[in-house]
Amino acid sequence: MLEILALCMLGAFLLFWSANRKAYEIAKRNCVLICQRSNVELLDDTVALSKLKVCRQTNGRLALQRVYAFDYATLQHSRKTGYIMMTHATVDYVRIEPEA
């Protein structure tokens, strides 16, 4: 019985890890595109998970919502932080100050 519980926990962890990895890749790809379109440079070529919470979708189902932070530089070389919010693998919101 204990072995079955351990296998179920391992399976749940692997599913969680896989979903997080997929969301990270989508967030990173979108950050690269957003920075290119906004004429800014994505610094360190990375995004970092800054918040993870359970939220309720409009249809009533529970979902994981992730917020990733990323640093970018403007043409004036000022360093700023942008954010991308995702539910599952869908981008919900992006906050970046475009180059003026």
Average pLDDT over residues 52-73: 90
**Tell me, what's the pLDDT at 14?**
95
Mean pLDDT of the chain: 89
In this structure, are residues 24 and 49 in contact, taking their beta carbons and an 8 Å threshold?
yes
CA dist 70 and 81 (Å) reads 6
Q: The tokens of 43 are what?
A: 């610094």
First to last CA, the chain: 62
Model pTM greater than 0.85? no
Confidence of residue 88 (pLDDT cuts 50, 70, 90): confident
CA dist 63 and 68 (Å) reads 16
- In tens, the pLDDT along 10-51 reads 999 999 999 899 999 999 999 999 998 888 889 988 899 999
**Tell me, what's the pLDDT at 86?**
93
Q: In the beta sheet, which residues pair with residue 70?
A: 82
